[in-house]
Amino acid sequence: MASFDIVSKVDIQQLDNAINTVKKEISTRYDFKGSHVEIELNKKDLKLVIESENEMKMGQVLDVLITRSMRQNLDPKCFDMEKEAYGSGKILKKDIVIRNGIPQDIIKKINKAIKDSGLKVQSAVMDDLIRVTAKKIDDLQAVISLCKTNDFGIPLQYINMK
């Protein structure tokens, strides 16, 4: 039986490298000279805190963050930017949660999509990963292409193909 795992993991080292390049670029940009901009990554909680003076600078920092993370082969879907920025005195702060692992509601959506596809595969949930098994590797490749065409809102990786 052939199998593979569907996971959603973020490489912390690549994320750290992307954050460091963002900090370096912002420190050298002319439009950020003399302005307060801070980016802090909490590796333990997988949380990113961005501070800036106003909405415009916050938008520019987020744009730089997304482009630099894409250059580091990080999917921009790994950043949960649903929370609005909040004011703290004269400074605007934004908390961004790094998505690591597949939440249970998305696991159910992925399982439903696999079952509804009619492919001869079995899927099993193991904590925050989905193991898909089949007799033919072609069926597994069809499941991978099915998951790539559907947008589940998180970056998916396909590992342990046996």
Considering the domain 2-8+101-159 in this protein, what is its CATH number?
Answer: 3.30.70.860
Q: What is the pLDDT of residues 141-158, one digit of tens each?
A: 999 999 999 988 899 999
Average of per-residue pLDDT across 17-43: 92
Q: Are 137 and 145 in contact (CB under 8 A)?
A: no
85 has a pLDDT exceeding 90: no
* Integer Cα distance of 127 and 145 in angstroms: 23
Q: In Å, what is the CA distance from 86 to each residue of 75, 94, 127, 154, 162? A: 25, 6, 34, 25, 47
Tell me what pLDDT residue 81 has. 87
CATH fold match for the domains 2-8+101-159 and 12-98: yes
Domain range summary for the chain, segments of one domain joined by +: 2-8+101-159, 12-98
Task: Give the gyration radius of the chain's Cα atoms.
Answer: 19
Q: Are 111 and 130 in contact (CB under 8 A)?
A: yes
Q: Does domain 12-98 fall into CATH 3.30.460.20?
A: no
| pTM exceeds cut of 0.85 | no
For 143, the token pair is: 């499941």
